[in-house]
Structure 1
Amino acid sequence: MAEIKFEITKQIAILSESPKGWTKELNLISWNGREPKYDIRDWAPNHEKMGKGVTLSNEEVEKLKEALRSLD
């Protein structure tokens, strides 16, 4: 399996933390040298391991923001 390269270009928020120290984070991440996208996933301490997550484009983040505002 090919190695996936990533760079966290901006840490935006920690959404939660598990008792084992893993954090669910919202970050901007560049995957394999591409333009950074918004990303929500679980991370082990020091980002040495990651869980499954979801990556969103700018347009998808805008739609998500609108959807969250409508919950009020």
Structure 2
Amino acid sequence: MAELKFEIKEHIGTVSESSKGWTKELNIVSWNGANPKFDLRDWAPEHEKMGKGLTFTNEELKNLRDILIDMNL
């Protein structure tokens, strides 16, 4: 299996933290040298491991924002 390469370009914020120190974070990440995207996933304390996550383009994140606003949370 090919090695997955990533670079966290910007940390936007932390959504939550588990008792084991993993954090659910929103970051801007470049995967395998591609254009950076917004990325929401769990990370180990030193970002050496990651869980499954979701990536969003600018337009997708704007659409998600609008959906959440419409929910009146």
Q: TM-score, normalised by structure 1?
A: 0.98
Count of matched residue positions in the alignment of Structure 1 and Structure 2: 72
The residue number in structure 2 matching 1:7 is: 7
Any gaps of 5 or more consecutive residues in structure 2?
A: none
The residue number in structure 2 matching 1:53 is: 53
**RMSD between aligned alpha carbons?**
0.5
The residue number in structure 2 matching 1:25 is: 25
Give the letter for the 1:45 counterpart. P
The residue number in structure 1 matching 2:41 is: 41
Deviation beyond 4 Å, 4+ runs, structure 1: none
Q: TM-score, normalised by structure 2?
A: 0.96
